[in-house]
Amino acid sequence: MRQKIALAVHGGAGTIVKSTMTAALEEAYKSALKEALQKGHAILKDGGSALDAVEIAVRVLEDCPLYNAGKGAVFTADGRNELDASIMNGKDLSAGAIAEVTNIKNPVSAARAVMEKSGHIFLVGRGAEEFARLYGLETAEPDYFFTEERWMALQRVRDEDPTKTELDHGSGKSTLKKLKEEKFGTVGAVALDVRGNMAAATSTGGMTNKKWGRVGDSSIIGAGTYANDLCAISCTGWGEYFIRLCIAKSVADLMEYKGYTLAKATHEMILKKLPELGGDGGLIAVDKAGNIAMPFSTEGMYRGFVKSNGKVVVDIYRK
């Protein structure tokens, strides 16, 4: 019997309410998820690696202006797009990540280049951009990342948020309250290939109006992304909470050290430990048997999956 294959993608979790969505927009969101799943599935079906599948799937979502990663990334407080991404190969625990880059068209591919060519795992800022340039990653002008919708979102946050122009010391809490209401846009993919290997990748533009070179969980191995020989995980949500709980690695550890199933381990982290601490969000995960879990504690999560039979399933809201 042929070994199972599986692929799941997400496009962010958050306050996604059907009443504020048009049918056309919903279709556009779903269409990008489908394309990501189809391209990744084509690779897996042909015997390609989980690593190649998650990279291509995330690239599709990075290229789609609707999602907060690559083109369509949200704006920082000073009106720029700063991109974070990571990728991990469960086969050998190799990993790569970049943060705070502003001119790389597909951050996930830069993360993969870091993994394969830098001798390091995590490169940030101008240094990461220099690395990407030296290794021939495709760059993009700041204009490329601009979308009217994200720019207006920044103006809206600035208008609504009294902390927008100055830093009143100790304003952390009120800022966080606002941020919590924002949609968490991040994209990610997890895959299982015919050889039984798994991989995960995550890419994001972070939070609208983020300040001071803030880096969330998406580029942190163990927090937003993890893959080993038991499972592969990509997270989306309020990044600070995912970092504090090391959500992705904790799922793997619950399986390895406590014998939990993928469903139970992901439920424990996203629907118990995360809300208990005050955070929210979701994740996608796959295990060696091809099981997929996609729990989220928010109102919605752009998500989808495809397994060996090739049937693509995508969804947005809570069931």
Q: Which residues have a catalytic role annotated?
A: 186
- Measured from the CB atom, the residue of 52 and 116 that comes closer to its own copies is 116
Regarding 47 and contact with its own copies (CB under 8 A), the answer is: no
Instruction: For 176, list phi and psi in degrees, rounded to 5.
Output: -60, -40
Considering the complex, state which of residue 2 and residue 173 has its C-beta at the smaller distance from its own copies: 173
Residue 67 CA, distance from chain mean position: 10
Q: Which residue type does 112 have?
A: R
Q: Does 127 bind its own copies (CB under 8 A)?
A: yes
Determine, following the binding rule CB under 8 A, whether residue 158 of this chain makes contact with its own copies.
no
Minimum distance of its own copies from residue 82's CB (angstroms): 9
Is residue 125 within the footprint of its own copies (CB under 8 A)? yes
Binding mask of the shown chain, residues 239 to 258, with x at each position contacting its own copies by CB under 8 A: xx--xxxx--xx--xx--xx
Residue 2 sits in the site that holds its own copies (CB under 8 A): no
In whole angstroms, what is the distance from residue 172 CA to residue 279 CA?
15
Contact between 28 and its own copies (CB under 8 A)? no
> CB neighbours (10 Å) of residue 153?
19
Q: Does 95 bind its own copies (CB under 8 A)?
A: yes
Stretch that binds its own copies, among 46-54, 58-66, 126-134, 305-313 (CB under 8 A): 126-134
The angle formed by the CA atoms of residues 219, 104 and 188, to the nearest 5 degrees, is: 40
* Residue 220 makes contact with its own copies by CB under 8 A: yes
The Cβ of residue 176 has, within 10 Å, a number of other Cβ atoms equal to 12
Q: Please state the φ and ψ torsions of residue 225, each to the nearest 5 degrees.
A: -145, 135
In single-letter form, the type of residue at position 216 comes to G
Single-letter amino acid code for the residue at 173: K
For 170-175, which contacts have Cβ atoms below 8 Å and span 24 or more sequence positions?
none
User: Helix (H, G, I), strand (E, B), or coil: what is residue 6?
Assistant: strand
The footprint of its own copies on residues 129-148 (CB under 8 A) is: 130-131, 134-135
By CB under 8 A, tell whether 182 contacts its own copies: no
Decide if residue 162 touches its own copies (CB under 8 A): no
Classified as helix, coil or strand, 122 is strand
Q: Which residues bind its own copies (CB under 8 A)?
A: 93-95, 99-100, 116-128, 130-131, 134-135, 167, 169-173, 175-176, 179, 210-216, 220-223, 226, 239-240, 243-246, 249-250, 253-254, 257-258, 277
